[in-house]
Chain A
Amino acid sequence: MKHKGRNVLSGLAWSGRGKITRVDVTLDGGRNWQEARIDGLVLEKSLTRFYVDFDWQGQELMVQSRAHNSTGYVQPTKDELRKVRGVDSIYHNNGIPSAWLVRANGETENVEIG
């Protein structure tokens, strides 16, 4: 993150079934979520672009996203997935894995939330 003030977060969502119908984004590590704005083409099994406008004043952020598709499926967390599949499952690993940690100085890194 380079500039304080109004910023736009953007990401890509994808599903192997149907279309992306909704993307939720959290900036505080999963405590609070908001629906992102989906823009551009939305087609089946296609990358779908989403955006969140937010104000950054140097606060620490933990950013995650959660996809919904047109079959009603809601992306599980890694813990929800591990509960079903254990820790050695490799393929079809579509859980919400980690977060983007944004520090006060704007440095960003990937972290795993407990």
Chain B
Amino acid sequence: MSRSAKFALSGAALVAALTLVAAPAAAQKAGLGREATPEEIKAWDISVRPDGKGLPPGKGTASQGEQIFIAQCATCHGDFGEGRDRWPVLAGGMGSLTHDRPEKTIGSFWPDASTVFDYIRRAMPFGNAQSLKPDEIYALTAYLLNLNEVIKDPAFELNEKNFASIKMPNTANFYDDDREVSEKHFWNRKPCMKACGVRRRRR
């Protein structure tokens, strides 16, 4: 890089830093930083909740999702979500939760379809996160749900309005943390201190 270009860049950085410090009153106490703008917050606010809140407008079918999946996802997850090498398995494993080695996938284990959308939107593909548009994410979600036999029709159009109608097979097996009840015998007890687990000899 030429010397003048380097100087211009560092000058620009300095100006930006000064702009950041000249902040609204709330951040002025320590003279550091500034409030995030509404646009910045909106760009980060991409969570999708199980009740559907946060879903952006958009639509896609499993057939459309298949093309995207093969192009962007199958290298790690396999064409049918069977997982390649050590990358996660996304489909299958139905009924395996009681086996010695349960196979926990979207269909066999996940309680909420919204997690598929949320996770893809936030973090996938690995190494190029947040590159997908809402329509693509609906299509991919539909494809994954189709692989897991939650959506039977590959032409079914998944969108933000009908998303809540998707029912996952394993939802009922999740329950709120109940350790204060189911593990209450771990509280307020006097554990053994001497000769624990040692059986006394009869005389």
The residues of A with any CB-CB pair to B shorter than 8 Å are 24, 30-34, 66, 71-76, 80, 84, 88, 92
Contact = CB atoms under 8 A, between A and B. Distances in A.
Contacts of A92: 179
B195 A74 contact: no
B25 interface: no
Contacts, number: 36
B196 A74 contact: no
Interface of B is mostly: loop
Given A72-B187, A74-B187, A24 B197 contact: no
Interface of B: 102, 179, 182-183, 186-189, 191-198
Contact of A33 (B179, B188, B193): B193
Given A72-B187, A74-B187, A88-B102, A31 B195 contact: yes
A32 B197 CA distance: 9
A32 B186 contact: no
Contacts of B198: 31
A24 B191 contact: yes
A4 to B, nearest CB: 26
Given A31-B195, A31-B196, A84 B187 contact: no
The 4 closest A-B pairs by CB, nearest first: A72-B188, A33-B193, A72-B187, A76-B186
A72 B192 CA distance: 15
Contacts of A74: 186-187, 189, 191
Contacts of B102: 88
24 contacts: A24-B191, A30-B196, A30-B197, A31-B195, A31-B196, A31-B198, A32-B194, A32-B195, A32-B196, A33-B192, A33-B193, A33-B194, A66-B191, A71-B187, A72-B187, A72-B188, A73-B186, A74-B186, A74-B189, A74-B191, A76-B183, A80-B186, A84-B182, A84-B183
